[in-house]
Amino acid sequence: MKIKVWVNGKLVQDDIAPDMTLFNYLRDKGYKSVKCGCDTSNCGLCTVWVEEKAVLSCSVLAMRVDGKHVTTLEGLQDEAEAFGMMLASEGAEQCGYCSPGLIMNVLRMKRELKNPTDEEIKAYLSGNLCRCTGYMGQLRAIKKYMSQNGEA
């Protein structure tokens, strides 16, 4: 099956198997920030944006993004680095395996929510699992990042 997709603004055309997931497609294309930790759509590590909406790439068939725009962490490097520094300053970087998916969702949240409460932040990120941090450092970093003025 032929697809045409823009990944981080770059047009890519390929012939893919009809059952290939977006996760596998992106990994095969070298986007190594997209990770998988569960194979059950429960951990959030594989989060990417499709048409500016956060999705779990392990549960989306690659053919579903035909003609669409996909954004990975590699396409948001400056913003990701800024938030990543806040994670580190709050002691929330730990092993870092969950960080790409978390960062993708936090950057999306910054665009969608204005002045969210702690409960709104927790609800928005409920699908992001971390096995190291205990979440409090992450929450501090997120609140700091969300309180910054201007665009993300």
147, burial (CB in 10 Å: exposed 0-12, middle 13-18, buried 19+): exposed
3-class state of residue 136 by DSSP: helix
In the predicted structure, residue 56 carries a pLDDT above the cut 80: yes
Percent of the chain with pLDDT over 70: 96
User: In this predicted structure, what is the pLDDT of residue 151?
Assistant: 45
Beta strand 53-56 pairing with 47-50:
antiparallel
Residues of each domain in the chain carrying CATH 3.10.20.30: 2-74
CATH, domain range 2-74: 3.10.20.30
Q: Confidence band (pLDDT; 50, 70, 90) for 37?
A: confident
Mean pLDDT for the chain overall: 90
CATH superfamily of 76-146: [2Fe-2S]-binding domain (1.10.150.120)
Percent of the chain with pLDDT over 90: 62
Output DSSP code: residue 44: -
Residues of each domain in the chain carrying CATH 1.10.150.120: 76-146
- Residue range 75-111, pLDDT digits in tens: 999 999 999 899 888 887 777 777 898 999 999 999 9
In the predicted structure, residue 134 carries a pLDDT above the cut 80: no
pTM (2 d.p.)? 0.89
